[in-house]
Amino acid sequence: MDTCCISLTGALPGKEYVIKSVGDNRMDINTLRGYGIFPGSTVKLLFRSPAKNPCAYEIMGAVLALRDEDSASIMIASRSE
C-alpha cells in the first residue's frame, strides 16, 4: 500500500497520525525529540487557537502547542495506514 504523507499543519482534529519524518525547521531537532516528536510517535490535533496558530497537539500523552512554522516540516500519515 502506498503511504500518503502530509504536513502536520494539515492534520484533522481528533484523528490520530503517526509521525513519518521530521525535516529541517526553526526548532532544534533535540528539542523536538525531547517533546516526543520523532518518527513512529503518534500525534493528534486537539484544537486550533482562535487565530488558527498555534495548534494544540497530543503527543505521547502530553499536550504541546506548536506554531505552523515549526510543524510544517513534520510529516505524518494516518494511523490506519
Share of the chain above pLDDT 90, in %: 56
For the chain, the helix, strand and coil percentages under 3-state DSSP, each to the nearest 5: 15, 40, 45
| CATH code reported for the domain at 6-78 | 2.30.30.90
User: At CA 77, angle to CA 10 and CA 37, rounded to 5?
Assistant: 85
Distance of alpha carbon 5 from alpha carbon 21, whole angstroms: 9
> In the predicted model, what is the mean pLDDT of residues 7-29?
87
Whether residue 28 has pLDDT greater than 80: no
- pLDDT one-digit tens code per residue, 46-80: 999 898 889 999 998 899 999 998 888 899 999 87
